[in-house]
A and B are shown apart, each in its own frame.
Chain A
Amino acid sequence: MKLLPWDYGVRNLLRAPGRTALGAGGVALVTALLVTAAAFVRGMNGSLAETGGLRNVILLGAGSEDSVERSEVKAGVAGIVAASVPGIEERLGVPYVSPEINVALVVNVDGQERQASFRGVTDAAYLVHPQVRIVEGRAPRAGELLVGRFAAARLDVPDERLAVGRSVDIDGRPWTIAGRFEAPGTVLDAEIWCDAQELRVATRRETLSGIVLTLADDAQTDDLDLFTKQRLDLELVALPERGYYARLHDFLAPVRAMVWTTALLVAGAALLGGIDTMHASFAARIRELATLRALGFANGAIALSLVQEALLTAALGALVGAACVLPLDGLAVRVSMGAFGLRVDGTALALGLGAACGVGLLGSLPAAWRCLRMELVAALRAD
């Protein structure tokens, strides 16, 4: 099949710059939306998938496997575990065993009551959660807090409100922010950390929520399983930390489904609109297309040129749309369970760009077909 010159399509785009800009603008909107949806889902999934350390195990109270916030573990257990379970990572004689309290608390920020995720920790927490990096200030002491970079988003307050040196009230008592941390791509980012002992006092609880520990390189979970079975009195259950957060991932399936459904509906509507726009643009040239057919160009060659035009427009729009949402990377998003950062990465961009080109292709083919199947002499006489 002999093809039309490549730049015939390009020149046609320039012939009606207004129409081309409008088409590209529509595609840009769809791309922006799809990339954002993908960045949302990827940010959410990623934060759950990457929170758990690969060699981390979380010990919870038996029967509370689904929620660390409901779990209760006796206060002294961390010491027993450190002393009796073999194969735990250590550095300079300090075992990687982190007793933690996870609790959702109401925080009073300038008279506004807000729900926040707290984690009461000891120094060992920084060993078992190496993603956590204090970027400003220092670790909290008595009456102090360490806030994650998305904690403000979780509380729905401006970021400056949780700056180092400011304070918030918990149960009528002021706590000062001593530092800020980031733990990119994890749910920890949305948390507020403080001293475990302080938090126990403040919440008047006797127990821990759980114990996170890191196994040495070659260690197996068998020893831990054996330990939990031998010490039934401690009522513990051991879960790989990754597995725990992966379960949370399943609970969020409806949120993901909703995001995707919305994105697909919008993309579908855009596709229908695109078919119509492209048909109008091709139909305006029906006589010219008929001339090409009369000269002997195959319908396939003409359709290819039209599809090429549409794909160029779509690609232009997709690039603009993608460029517009690129700055959203890392933007904090609040959802009911916490907060996470949008992840505008290669996959999200590829998805948006691919979908945009799909719109161009699927939109232009039926439009081209409608114009080209018309009887040749009738098309030549069209005005």
Chain B
Amino acid sequence: MSALVECRGLTRVYHKGDQEIRPLDELDLDVDEGTFTALMGPSGSGKTTLLNLVAGIDRATSGTLRVEGVELGALSNTELARWRAHTIGYVFQLYHLVPVLTAYENVELPLLLRDDTRRERHRKVAAALELVGLADRHDHFPRQLSGGQEQRVALARAIVTDPRIIVADEPTGDLDAAAADAILDLLGALRRELGKTLLMVTHDPRAAAHADRVIHLEKGRIVAAAAATS
């Protein structure tokens, strides 16, 4: 059986003036369904770039990327947008909450792209906020939340659509140890109980320990891959 995510010779090149930046360089990577993979590496090593490609919000310069058997490079922008709305939950490194919307409305946003009724949406949003421990913060605007709470709203927004793949860019970066553990336990449970496939960027070895596999990136290449010890 082939992997859920299949990267072959994946390369991303940015041009800044006449300078060429290559955050991903001929990367080969397979991620199996129902696994929890941690991505580590120094700043600028291409972790976010890889997540963006897998999540379908960026396009590779060369190489192929197949997710669920779909060749992402072959989709039009509109098809890609629809695909990611149904397949991917993304926890952004900088949360990217919409400031004029409440926590509840932020989490509801991706559901508006589906055919859920208002009631179904309410049930799902309430459940997601409950899962991240923010059941009492429905009506708070992002500016009324702490950094850690914002991060948890971002996680709730990523899981509310029940996506097959969750990508998270340092989802515990702004949390204290206890809150971070709660989130990592939640991610672990999503994998164990619901069979989600998780791809998480982290700088924190303790967070990486929750994953089944840790991949180290450096200058856009994999330098080491190991099964996690825990």
Contact = CB atoms under 8 A, between A and B. Distances in A.
B133 interface: no
Interface in B79-104: 81-82, 84-86, 90, 92, 94, 96-101
Contacts of A239: none
B112 interface: yes
Given A2-B113, A296-B81, A296-B84, A291 B92 contact: yes
A376 B57 contact: yes
Interface in A263-312: 287-288, 290-298
Contacts, number: 62
A377 B98 contact: no
Interface residues on B, range: 20 to 34
B78 A295 contact: no
Given A377-B52, A377-B57, A380-B92, A291 B98 contact: yes
Interface stretch (A8-16, A47-55, A113-121, A144-152): A8-16
A295 B99 contact: no
Contacts of A293: 57, 81
Contacts of A77: none
B218 interface: no
A5 B112 contact: yes
Nearest to B55: A294
A351 interface: no
B120 to A, nearest CB: 15
Contacts of A124: none
Contact of A380 (B81, B85, B96, B101): B96
B109 interface: yes
Instruction: Summarize A's interface: helix, strand, loop or mixed.
Output: helix
A278 to B, nearest CB: 17
A4 interface: yes
Nearest to A288: B98
A295 B92 CA distance: 11
A225 B128 CA distance: 90
B100 A296 contact: no
B110 interface: yes
Interface string B55-75: 101100000000000000000
Nearest to A290: B96
Nearest to B85: A296
A294 B100 contact: no
Interface of B: 49, 52, 55, 57-58, 78, 81-82, 84-86, 90, 92, 94, 96-101, 105, 109-110, 112-114, 157
20 contacts: A2-B113, A3-B112, A11-B100, A287-B94, A288-B96, A288-B98, A288-B99, A290-B96, A291-B97, A291-B98, A292-B109, A293-B57, A293-B81, A294-B57, A295-B109, A296-B84, A296-B113, A297-B113, A377-B49, A380-B96
